[in-house]
Amino acid sequence: MKVWELGEFGLIELIAKTVGKATRHDLILGIGDDTAAWRTDKSIQLGTTDILIQNIHFNLDIATWRELGWKALAVNISDIAAMGGTPSFAMVSLGLTPETEVDNVVELYRGIKEIASKFDVDIIGGNISRAPVVIIDVSLIGKASDALLTRSAAAPGDQIAVTGYLGLAAAGLKLLKSKRKLDSKTTAFFREAHLRPRPRVAEGQILVQHGVRAAIDISDGLLSDLTHVCKASHVGAKLWINKLPIHALLRSAFKKDWLRLALSGGEDYELLFTARSDVIAKLTDIMSSPLTVIGEIVSDAPGQVTLLDEQGKAIKWDETGWDHFKSPQRGKR
């Protein structure tokens, strides 16, 4: 069997099975959530890593080196946010071609430093190696209080909610790749959404403080990431497409494609979480970012997400989200 036949998430399950259960008593979470988590004498420590590869995750024809630096750290910070934690220390490893301009490497680190300063993250090390294409590999350590947000804590009766808007990052990628002409303000808006995501660290901490325990960040796509939560929690979900938070610019600029971008596009790095209705009602008044209820957790059909139209009828939807090996062209965004 080839890895593309098994798929990214099937491969992760196989790796977890091969590695086996952890033996250290201080480990809280290993393979399978947004970060690993382990207990120290004073706190819970969080660890995550993510890799960006040229022509798979980014294209230097449409992204600047500074934007790449921002995004490389942002996607890791978002994992920490999805656990309700705060980021602390980052290590950056690079694979570079010998022809890479030194000025470009400096610009990359300027982008990393820019977002690091916003979230009080220190860059403390890394590695550099020769490679056939540019590779940016970031590892990030963070910390959390005694409570965590996890994928496995959703319960029947919970409402499903998201921060911000859906589909903007995928729309930005589609716009930049097509070289379609829109007005400069709209183009800049979508470019920012795709290349300079804003991790929801403060929002994740607010969720934990108000008793929320189930969350994930939207990286692979709303449907895909909600399915991860359902599988980990052994529950099902009903999703109301008429409730999805869709920005007016997305509807107007992508009239035929906005729903697909919102459901399956990915890379929004918004927080998707579940909680009781009374908890979410309180959160709506507290959050600085928009908060939208888009569905409910149910006990039937564990591991499955059912899409419902305005009349409550189920909709068939084949495109769930991103998989590095099963997605079109096997890995090219």
Question: Which neighbouring-strand residues pair with 2?
Answer: none
Q: Report the pLDDT value the prediction gives residue 98, as an integer from 0 to 100.
A: 97
Q: What is the pLDDT of residues 201-249, one digit of tens each?
A: 999 999 999 999 999 999 999 999 999 999 999 999 999 999 999 999 9
Do 126 and 184 belong to one domain? no
Q: What is the 3-state secondary structure (H, E, C) of the chain?
A: CCHHHHCHHHHHHHHHHHHCCCCCCCEEECCCCCCEEEECCCCEEEEEEEEEEECCCECCCCCCHHHHHHHHHHHHHHHHHHCCCEEEEEEEEEEECCCCCHHHHHHHHHHHHHHHHHCCCEEEEEEEEECCCCEEEEEEEEEECCCCCECCCCCCCCEEEEECCCCHHHHHHHHHHHCCCCCHHHHHHHHHHHHCCCCCHHHHHHHHHCCCCEEEECCCCHHHHHHHHHHHHCCEEEEEHHHCCCCHHHHHHCCCCHHHHHHHCCCCCCEEEEECHHHHHHHHHHCCCCEEEEEEEECCCCCCEEEECCCCCEECCCCCCCCCCCCHHHCCC
Query: Is the per-residue pLDDT at 323 higher than 70?
Result: no
Q: Determine contact, residues 83/144, Cβ cutoff 8 Å.
A: yes
Do 188 and 174 belong to one domain? yes
Do 191 and 240 belong to one domain? yes
What is the biggest distance separating any 2 CA atoms in the chain, rounded to whole angstroms?
59
Find, among 307, 278, 280, the residue nearest to 291 by Cα. Answer: 280
Q: Is residue 149, in this structure, part of any structural domain at all?
A: no
Q: How confident is the model at residue 186 (pLDDT cuts 50, 70, 90)?
A: very high
Name the more confident of 234 and 33. 234
Name the more confident of 326 and 89. 89
Find, among 248, 54, 284, 72, the residue nearest to 167 by Cα. Answer: 248
Q: Is residue 225, in this structure, part of any structural domain at all?
A: yes
Name the more confident of 329 and 78. 78
Q: Is residue 177, in this structure, part of any structural domain at all?
A: yes
Query: Is the per-residue pLDDT at 319 higher than 90?
Result: no
Query: Is the per-residue pLDDT at 31 higher than 50?
Result: yes
Query: Is the per-residue pLDDT at 302 higher than 80?
Result: yes
Do 326 and 195 belong to one domain? yes
Do 116 and 170 belong to one domain? no
Q: Determine contact, residues 142/85, Cβ cutoff 8 Å.
A: yes
Q: Is residue 153, in this structure, part of any structural domain at all?
A: no
Q: Report the pLDDT value the prediction gives residue 325, as an integer from 0 to 100.
A: 61
Q: Determine contact, residues 141/89, Cβ cutoff 8 Å.
A: yes
Q: Report the pLDDT value the prediction gives residue 42, as an integer from 0 to 100.
A: 82
Q: How confident is the model at residue 191 (pLDDT cuts 50, 70, 90)?
A: very high
326's tokens: 């099963």
81's tokens: 């946010």
Query: Is the per-residue pLDDT at 20 higher than 60?
Result: yes
Q: Is residue 152, in this structure, part of any structural domain at all?
A: no
Residue ending a domain, among 120, 144, 168, is: 144
Q: What percent of the chain has pLDDT over 70?
A: 95
Angle at 150 between CA 147 and CA 151, to 5 degrees: 165
Do 186 and 42 belong to one domain? no
Q: How confident is the model at residue 24 (pLDDT cuts 50, 70, 90)?
A: confident
Q: How confident is the model at residue 320 (pLDDT cuts 50, 70, 90)?
A: low
Query: Is the per-residue pLDDT at 330 higher than 50?
Result: no
Distance (Å, rounded) from C-alpha 101 to C-alpha 123? Answer: 21
Q: Report the pLDDT value the prediction gives residue 103, as an integer from 0 to 100.
A: 98
Name the more confident of 243 and 318. 243
Query: Is the per-residue pLDDT at 114 higher than 80?
Result: yes
Do 45 and 21 belong to one domain? no
* CATH number of 117's domain: 3.30.1330.10
Return mean pLDDT, the chain.
93
Q: Determine contact, residues 162/218, Cβ cutoff 8 Å.
A: yes
For range 187-197, the mean pLDDT: 97
Do 124 and 3 belong to one domain? no
Query: Is the per-residue pLDDT at 89 higher than 70?
Result: yes
**In terms of residue numbers, what domain contains 100?**
33-144
For range 63-69, the mean pLDDT: 97
Do 190 and 292 belong to one domain? yes
Q: Determine contact, residues 131/226, Cβ cutoff 8 Å.
A: no
Work out how many domains the chain is built from and give that number. 3
Do 248 and 130 belong to one domain? no
The distance in angstroms from the start CA to the end CA of the chain is 24
Q: Report the pLDDT value the prediction gives residue 328, as an integer from 0 to 100.
A: 52
Name the more confident of 186 and 321. 186
Of 292-301, 303-312, 313-322, which range is least confident?
A: 313-322
Find, among 8, 171, 150, 16, the residue nearest to 79 by Cα. Answer: 150
Do 137 and 163 belong to one domain? no
Q: Report the pLDDT value the prediction gives residue 329, as an integer from 0 to 100.
A: 46
For range 61-71, the mean pLDDT: 97
